[in-house]
């Protein structure tokens, strides 16, 4: 039981969370996810279909697995957009475990707008969502997200998709010390050693997409 990761009312047997972007097909997404051992896959609901049963639906591909879905608000640039996205997604799917991200710089860094994220978090928490909040590696903002109702904090390690690894290890440790919530290191994990380093710094888990999806053989991560 010591290996169980608890996020709000949810429990996971794996400390690895994976993304669903950059794959050639839904089937390849499933094969790579199952091979990774992850029990949670995040999906940009503005880009990949998990809500419309009349079209090719990623959730259908995962039927028979133990993988849960984590809708995210990638592409949203305001709190209002993120709130609306998640309300509609929950209505269509019943899923209330979410990855909240509001992007401030959509052209270069994809860095989060943390102030908008906090505002969205307050409202979504009142709506009963279990919130995993993508944010900068700032311990002050991490604490404010905890106070706003987040259930897990997801500080970036490096810019999304960069694979640069953990650029500010002290900040990750500071975030861990600042809040009494699970810390999932998100964005920039490029290889297995980056993930191991994150755990050594005290992280409770990691999220990675590009490092797996862009591998020569994603289902074997090689």
Task: Give the pLDDT confidence of 99-117 residue by residue, as tens digits.
Answer: 999 999 888 888 899 999 9
**Are 67 and 34 within 8 A, CB to CB?**
yes
Rounded average pLDDT over 160-181: 86
Q: Mean pLDDT throughout 47-74?
A: 93
| Tokens linked to 1 | 């039981």
Catalytic residue among 30, 99, 122, 176: 99
Split at pLDDT 50, 70, 90, the class of 1 is very low
pLDDT, average across residues 71-90: 97
Residues in the chain: 222
| Residue 91 confidence (pLDDT) above 90 | yes
The Cα diameter of the chain in Å comes to 47
pLDDT confidence bin for 3, thresholds 50/70/90: confident
Please enumerate in sequence order all residues whose Cβ is within 8 A of that of 24, keeping only pairs 6 or more positions apart, or say none: none
Q: What percent of the chain has pLDDT over 90?
A: 68
At 11-55, the pLDDT tens digits run 999 999 998 988 889 999 999 999 999 999 999 999 998 999 899
DSSP state of 17: E
Q: Are residues 19 and 207 in contact, defined by beta-carbon separation less than 8 angstroms?
A: yes
Tell me the average pLDDT of the chain.
90
Contact at 8 Å (CB) between 124 and 149? yes
pLDDT tens string 117-131: 999 999 999 999 999
Residue 2 banded pLDDT, cuts 50, 70, 90: low
55 belongs to the catalytic site: no
Q: Given CA atoms 33, 168, 134, 72 in this order, what sign does their dihedral have?
A: negative
Are residues 181 and 210 in contact, defined by beta-carbon separation less than 8 angstroms?
Answer: no
| Domains in the chain: boundaries | 13-213
Spatial contact of 51 and 78, defined as CB atoms under 8 Å apart: no
- Give mean pLDDT, residues 164-169: 80
Helix, strand, coil percent values for the chain (each to nearest 5): 35, 20, 45
CATH architecture type of domain 13-213: Alpha-Beta Barrel (3.20)
Query: In angstroms, rounded to a whole number, what is the distance separating the alpha carbons of residues 160 and 163?
Result: 8
pLDDT (0 to 100) of residue 190: 74
């Amino acid at each position: 039981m010591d290996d169980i990761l608890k996020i709000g009312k949810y429990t996971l047997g794996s400390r690895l969370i994976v993304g669903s972007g950059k794959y050639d097909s839904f089937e390849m997404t499933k094969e790579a996810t199952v091979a990774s051992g992850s029990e949670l896959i995040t999906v940009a609901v503005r880009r990949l279909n998990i809500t419309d049963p009349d079209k090719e639906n990623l959730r259908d591909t995962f039927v028979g697995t133990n993988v849960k879905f984590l809708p995210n608000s990638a592409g949203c640039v305001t709190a209002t957009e993120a709130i609306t996205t998640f309300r509609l997604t929950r209505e269509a799917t019943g899923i209330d475990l979410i990855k909240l991200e509001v992007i401030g710089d959509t052209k270069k860094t994809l860095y989060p707008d943390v102030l908008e994220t906090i505002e969205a978090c307050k409202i979504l928490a009142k709506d009963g969502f279990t919130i995993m909040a993508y944010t900068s590696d700032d311990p002050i903002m991490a604490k404010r997200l905890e106070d706003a109702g987040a259930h897990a904090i997801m500080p970036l390690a490096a810019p999304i998709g960069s694979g640069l690894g953990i650029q500010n290890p002290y900040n990750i440790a500071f975030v861990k010390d600042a809040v009494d919530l699970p810390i999932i290191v998100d964005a920039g994990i490029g290889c297995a050693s980056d993930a191991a380093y994150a755990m050594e710094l005290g992280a409770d888990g990691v999220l990675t997409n590009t490092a797996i999806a862009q591998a020569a053989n994603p289902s074997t991560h090689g």
